[in-house]
Amino acid sequence: MLPLAMHRVVLGVCSTPMAIPFGLDIRLLEALSDAIVVLDAEGSVQFVNSAARSAFGHLLPSPAGRIEGLDIDECFRLSECGTDISSALAAALRGERAVVECDLPIEGRCRAMEFVFNPLVDDGQVQQVILVGRDVENRAQVQRQREQLFALVENSSDFIGMADAEGTPFYVNPAGRRMVGIAQAEVPHTSIPDYYPADQIDLVNDQILPRMRSDGYWSGETFFRNFATGARIPVSDTHFVVRHPETGELIGYATITRDISEQKRSLELSEASKQKDRFLATLAHELRNPLAPIRTGLDLIQVLRGDAAACEEPLRIIDRQFQHLVHLVDDLLDVSRISRGKIELHKEQLELAEIIDAALEMSDSGLNRGDRRVTVSVPSEPLVVEGDPVRLVQVIANLLNNAAKFTDAGGHIDVRATPRDDWVEIQVQDDGCGVPRERLDKIFEMFSQAEPGRSGGLGIGLSLVRGLVEMHGGTVSADSAGPGCGATFTVSLPLSSSVPVQATAETATEPGALPTQCRLLVVDDNPDIVESLRLVLTMLGAEVRVAHDGADAIRVFDEWTPTHVLMDLGMPGMDGYEAARRLRAKHADSAFRLIAMTGWGQEEDRRRTREAGFDEHLVKPVRLERLKEVLSA
C-alpha cells in the first residue's frame, strides 16, 4: 500500500472537478470497496480510488510521476502477464458495457482479476468509462479445481456416475460407459436399478437406495451388468449423497464403482492353488494309509515264510488295502470322467433292494470294523428304477463308506428306502460326528471336507455321488443338526413303471488253469511287472517269453509265435500302439490274441487300443481271476 502522503499526491493530481463523473462526490468513490479507475473518452486514466491504490499501488508510477493521461496498460503494466484488454476497452469507448477477466502482476505472480467497463454517455457520446476491478483469484481457483476434478473424473478408470436429487442419472464418465456398454445420451433414460442384473435388483431397492437416503452412504460388493452383452461384472460399489456445503440441501447422488473381476480371478486362482496343495497333501496321506499295512503285511510274510496258515491274515490285510487303493484311483478317474462328460451309463430296469444289497456287500469290510450296527429298511414291494447297476451300487457304497468313516466304533448306520409318489428316497443316516451347518452347501463340492483339517479322505466321494445321481436324473442332499449330531444323506431317484429283467441263471465256474498250449509273450518296460507276471503265468501252466519294448516284442514274436500277447502301452521307443499295428500287419494270417494291460483306462485310451488291433483292454492292476478269464476266452 502507498504511504498516506503519496495518496494525497495522487489524489491531488487527479482531483480536478472534471474528473468527477456526472457530479459524483469523490468521497463516494473513495468509500467504495471495489477498485475504481476513471478513464476519459480517449481511454486515458483520470482517477484511481483508494481501493485501487491499495490493491494495485505497487504498479503505479513513482510518487514523482503522474498517472493523468497514461493508458491503462502503462498504468498497471498489464503486458507483464500477457493481459490484453484492448478489445474490452474499445467496446466501452463505443458505448458498450464489457466484462473481462485478466491477470495482473501482484506480489510476484499473476493474479486473476475481473474488470467491468461501464461507459458514461451524454448526448450519445461516451464521456468517461468507469472501470470496476474485483479480485476473482478465489473464484478462478475454484474454477480451476472444478476443471481438475472434472478431468480426474473423466480420466478415471473407475465407473463414476451422478444422479439428481430425484435419483435420475444424468452423467456417467467414459470408463463407466465402457464398463456397462452404454452411451451418454442413454444415461438420463436409465434408472439406477437398470445397471444391475435381475438377481441384484432386490439388493438395490431394499438395501442400497434406502441406506443412501437414510445414512447417506452404502458400500459393498455386488454385480453390474453390461447392457450390450448381458455379462455380469463383479464390482466394489460405493454410493453416497451430495449436499450443498453451506445449506446441507440435497443436490444429488454419486456412485464410484470399481471392476474387481481381476481381483476375483486372482483370489480364485489363489484358492485353487491352496486347494490343490491341500488335495496333494491329502492324497499323499490317503496313499500312505493303505501302504503302511501292506508293507507290514509283507514283512510278516517274510518272517512267517513257510507257515501258510499264519500268512493268511497278512494276505487278507494286503488284499483289502490293495482294493482300497484301487477304489481310490477309480474314484479319482471317475470324477475326472464326469467333469468331462466321458462316463457312459448302461441303463437297465433295476430292483432297488438288489442295488442296496450289492452296495452293502461292497462296503462290508468298512462297515463291520468297530462293531458298528447297520440296519436296512426296504419295502417288500419292488421299487424299480432305471439306471446303471454298477454306478448306482457305487453311489450307495460311497455313502455307506462315508458314514462308516465318520461314525465311531459302536455307532449306528441306518439305510432305508421310501417311495414318494413317482420317486424313491434312499437315505443313509448315521449317528457319527455330524456336519457343521455352514458346510452343508459345500460338502458335495470337489475336495470338500465336512470339517477342514480332519482326516476324512480326499473329499471326492460325495462329489462323485452327486455327479452320478444327477446323471440318473436324481438329486442328492445332506442334512445335519451340527457337530456330534450325525448326518443324513438322501438320494432321490425317479421310479420306473417297468419290470426289471431277470438275469438268466448261469453256473458259476471258478477260473482254473490256463488252456493247454498257452504261449504268452509279456511286454512291459517295468522289470518287476514282467517278472511277477512270468512267475504267476508259469505257475498256471503257460509257456512265457518276455520283452521290454515294442521293437523287442516284434523280434521275439518273429522268433517264437505266441498264442497271446500281454502288452503295456506307454513304453519308451516304440509304444504298444505302434507295436500292435505292426504285429497285426506283419502276422495277419496268425491267430493270436492281443491284450493291452495298461494304467491308461479312459474311453479315449480304449478307442485307441481297438483301432490299433487289440482284442482286450485291461487296466492295471488286474486281478488274477480277470486275467485268467481273458486268457481262457
Contacts (Cβ under 8 Å, ≥6 apart) of 32:
49, 51
> Which strand (E) or helix (H) includes residue 423?
strand 423-430
> Does residue 380 carry a pLDDT above 50?
yes
597 in Cβ contact with 567 (< 8 Å): yes
Q: In this predicted structure, what is the pLDDT of residue 521? A: 95
Q: In this predicted structure, what is the pLDDT of residue 12? A: 26
Confidence class of residue 594 from pLDDT cuts 50, 70 and 90? very high
Confidence class of residue 236 from pLDDT cuts 50, 70 and 90? very high
In this prediction, what percent of the chain has a pLDDT beyond 70? 80
Rounded to whole angstroms, the maximal C-alpha distance in the chain is 146
Strands (E) across 18-77 are located at 35-40, 45-48
DSSP string, 338-375: HHTT------EEEEHHHHHHHHHHHTHHHHHTTT-EEE
Average pLDDT for 226-249: 89
Q: Give the domains, in start order, of the chain with CATH numbers.
A: 4-141 (3.30.450.20), 157-259 (3.30.450.20), 269-339 (1.10.287.130), 348-494 (3.30.565.10), 519-632 (3.40.50.2300)
Instruction: Name the residue with higher pLDDT: 38 or 295.
Output: 38
For the packed helices 603-612 and 576-586, what is the interaxial angle rounded to 10 degrees?
Answer: 30
In angstroms, the CA 86 to CA 94 distance is 12
Confidence class of residue 17 from pLDDT cuts 50, 70 and 90? very low
Q: In this predicted structure, what is the pLDDT of residue 240? A: 92
DSSP structure class, residue 71: B
> Does residue 2 carry a pLDDT above 70?
no
Question: Between the ranges 105-114, 193-202, 357-366, where is the mean pLDDT highest?
Answer: 193-202
Average pLDDT for 575-604: 89
Average pLDDT for 197-211: 92
> Does residue 541 carry a pLDDT above 50?
yes
Q: In this predicted structure, what is the pLDDT of residue 101? A: 78
Q: What is the pLDDT of residues 452-468, one digit of tens each?
A: 544 455 667 788 888 88
State how far the alpha carbon of 444 is from the alpha carbons of 423, 448, 468, in Å: 22, 7, 12
Q: What is the pLDDT of residues 388-438, one digit of tens each?
A: 888 898 899 889 988 888 888 788 999 999 999 899 999 999 998 888 888
Burial class (CB in 10 A: 0-12, 13-18, 19+), 179: buried
> Does residue 512 carry a pLDDT above 70?
no
DSSP string, 367-379: HHTTT-EEEEE--
Average pLDDT for 199-213: 91
Average pLDDT for 479-497: 90
Q: Which of 30-44, 55-69, 385-399, 437-451 has the lowest mean pLDDT?
A: 55-69
| Chain center to CA of 409 | 42
Q: Which of 39-48, 221-230, 335-344, 619-628 has the lowest mean pLDDT?
A: 335-344
57 in Cβ contact with 1 (< 8 Å): yes
In this prediction, what percent of the chain has a pLDDT beyond 90? 30
Average pLDDT, the chain: 80
Among the residues of 156-252, which ranges form H helices? 174-180, 201-203, 209-215
Length of the chain as a residue count: 633
In angstroms, the CA 458 to CA 172 distance is 50
Return the bridge partners of 112, or none.
Answer: 103
In angstroms, the CA 149 to CA 145 distance is 6
State how far the alpha carbon of 268 is from the alpha carbons of 220, 273, 281, in Å: 19, 8, 20
In angstroms, the CA 101 to CA 115 distance is 6
Q: What is the pLDDT of residues 24-49, one digit of tens each?
A: 567 777 888 788 888 888 888 888 88
Confidence class of residue 504 from pLDDT cuts 50, 70 and 90? very low
Confidence class of residue 517 from pLDDT cuts 50, 70 and 90? confident
Strands (E) across 211-331 are located at 217-225, 232-243, 250-259
Give rounded-to-5 percent helix, strand, coil for the chain: 45, 25, 30
Question: Between the ranges 82-86, 101-105, 125-129, 301-305, where is the mean pLDDT highest?
Answer: 125-129
Question: Between the ranges 24-28, 65-69, 603-607, where is the mean pLDDT highest?
Answer: 603-607
195 in Cβ contact with 180 (< 8 Å): yes
Instruction: Name the residue with higher pLDDT: 462 or 507.
Output: 462
Omega before residue 193 within 30° of 0, cis: no
Instruction: Name the residue with higher pLDDT: 103 or 213.
Output: 213
